[in-house]
Structure 1
Amino acid sequence: MTKHVPGPSPESAESGGGVRSVKSAERTIAVLEYLCSATRACSLREVTTELGLPRASGYALLTTLLNTGWVEADGTGRYRIGIRALRAGAAYVERDDVVQRAQPVMNELNIELGETIHLARLDGAEIVYLATNISRHSLAVVSRPGRRLSSWATGLGKVILAWRSWEEVDELLPETLEPRTANTITDRPALRAELEEIRRRGHAVDEQESTIGLRCFAVPLDFGTAPNEALSCSVPVVRLSPDREQEIVAALLGARARIVH
């Protein structure tokens, strides 16, 4: 389905106390977000078709972004996100209070458990990875900062959603809960029951719902309000046992207490 970039109508050109929406800025952001989410370099036609842009406007935007380093060309007429975007993303993480509070504890947890530790934040119906400490094992889980995944398909997302009312969760999620694996919960009543159980026990478990062969344990980071961030440990199922699972959950709960104190 073609996605059209929203532009201000005559009736809604001004909002938020008289601040006028700038159509060119909206289009620029849409192009950058599209290229950020793309898994490969994209042609001008792909960008303009997907975003519903006039070809001339799309070309002008991409040329401007190319000249300023926000977009790069691969030499075949295709475009990908540029190095300036990396600088902006790195600056966001470096200045984020939660990341700064969590990172030392994540380092300790990574050493203690020897497994991959993630910090993520809810953004709409998705979670965004903010920081990752990779496992010391050769069989390891890697999720780069900035990666986005469906909240309902991850332990990180489910443990954040669990501390919200079902009405808020239901409104937040898309009408259709697309699966990532055969284990992803896509039935709303089943998801609601799962979130209630997570809230009761205090942590979430991703039972290979995001990646087959991988189990993830997650705890919320609640700084006095409904949590918007969570901490997790991802482990290949071949390295798990009931005792090991209890050890991981206990370590995560201890880490959470050190971060949110």
Structure 2
Amino acid sequence: MAVSIRDLDPADPAKVAVRSDMSVRKVKSAVRTVELLEYLAARQDRPARIREICTALDMPRSSAHALLRTLVDQGWVRSDPSGTQYGIGVRALLVGTSYLDSDPYLPVIAPFLDDLRRDLDETFHIGRLDGTDVVYLATRESRQYVRTTNKVGRRLPAHACALGKALLAERFGAERDAAIPGVLTPLTPRTLTDREALDAALDEATIRGYATDDEENTPGVRCFAVALPYLRPAQDAISASVPVHRLNPEREREIVDALRMVCDKVTRVVRPLANGDKWFAG
């Protein structure tokens, strides 16, 4: 007969142990669910077979199959007609759009991103630091060239993009260490993988007031970014992504100056909203 936690006597040590074990299993199941959804979301338009899921998440096939079946039934995961390939489901859209819709800063910052794109016709992004990654919250694409791979909701290691470097440069000591993984995984041959070299780049970004990445996450694209200090330390940054063949020193100065000007404007407008922020209060 199945045992319910409600049926257990809290005074009985043996039953308390059963209660604890059941709670652990429930937590583990929740963790697996989140890991599975994040794995499928990260694959974007590449469906995953159950074998790939089991390998990537170190999950028994029976557990993966049961979890997938439940998530497909609930709309969080979709499968192909054969039931052998899986991808993120339409219900996941509710969570992502809810986060963006409820953010108090994005509606204020987005028009400035529109202005940058209109004036310079390059691709501009807003990103937020999340652990050791940067999450892209908004993008305005240039009309002059094929878009870069950065999309809303995409995650990149903070050490490998200008957005992340601008935010890491705002942090020092243990706070910076917490946002940088022990192993700096390269995304391109130009990604900084040495911690000393990364720290030197961050210190330089702190001094000059903006960060760069030179084809460190996307070949052929150079990026410039400034942190938005309406919170301390800054959680958000804006960046420009520009094909290297379109850059020269004069154009770089023009882009950096525009980013700095927008940073000042955004900070003046958004800082009153950020006072007492319940999500990022330190």
Letter in 1 for 2:219: I
Contact kept? 1:135, 1:141, Cα under 8 Å: no
Cα separation, 2, equivalents of 1:242 and 1:225: 31
Letter in 2 for 1:47: I
Cα separation, 1, equivalents of 2:59 and 2:183: 27
Match of 1:28 in 2: 33
Segment of structure 1 superposing worse, 51-60 or 98-107:
51-60
Match of 1:54 in 2: 60
TM-score, structure 2 as length reference = 0.82
Match of 2:48 in 1: 42
Written as runs of structure 1 = structure 2, the 5 A alignment for 1:87-126 is 87-126=94-133
Cα separation, 2, equivalents of 1:106 and 1:158: 19
TM-score, structure 1 as length reference = 0.88
Unaligned ranges ≥5, structure 2: 1-16, 269-282
Identity of aligned residues (%): 45
Written as runs of structure 1 = structure 2, the 5 A alignment for 1:1-261 is 22-39=27-44, 40-76=46-82, 77-261=84-268
Cα deviation 1:85-133 (Å, max 9, x = unaligned): 1232122112212212211111111101101010011111111111100
**Cα RMSD between the aligned structures?**
2.1
Cα separation, 1, equivalents of 2:67 and 2:146: 42
Cα separation, 2, equivalents of 1:201 and 1:238: 24
Count of aligned pairs between the two proteins: 247
Identify if the C-alpha distance between structure 1 residues 139 and 44 changes in structure 2 by more than 3 Å, giving closer, same or farther.
Answer: closer
Cα separation, 2, equivalents of 1:231 and 1:183: 22
Cα separation, 2, equivalents of 1:35 and 1:19: 24
* 3-state SS, counterpart of residue 240 of structure 2: strand
1:21 Cα deviation after fit: 6.4
* 3-state SS, counterpart of residue 174 of structure 1: coil
Identify if the C-alpha distance between structure 1 residues 140 and 49 changes in structure 2 by more than 3 Å, giving closer, same or farther.
Answer: closer
Segment of structure 1 superposing worse, 245-254 or 178-187:
178-187
Letter in 1 for 2:59: L
Cα deviation 1:175-221 (Å, max 9, x = unaligned): 22111122211111111111111000000111111112111110001
Identify if the C-alpha distance between structure 1 residues 33 and 197 changes in structure 2 by more than 3 Å, giving closer, same or farther.
Answer: same
Identify if the C-alpha distance between structure 1 residues 52 and 224 changes in structure 2 by more than 3 Å, giving closer, same or farther.
Answer: closer
Identify if the C-alpha distance between structure 1 residues 50 and 19 changes in structure 2 by more than 3 Å, giving closer, same or farther.
Answer: closer
* 3-state SS, counterpart of residue 143 of structure 1: coil
Contact kept? 1:42, 1:78, Cα under 8 Å: yes
> Which structure's residues are more often helix, by fraction?
2
Unaligned ranges ≥5, structure 1: 1-9
Cα separation, 2, equivalents of 1:188 and 1:78: 39
1:19 Cα deviation after fit: 11
Letter in 1 for 2:130: D
Letter in 1 for 2:132: A
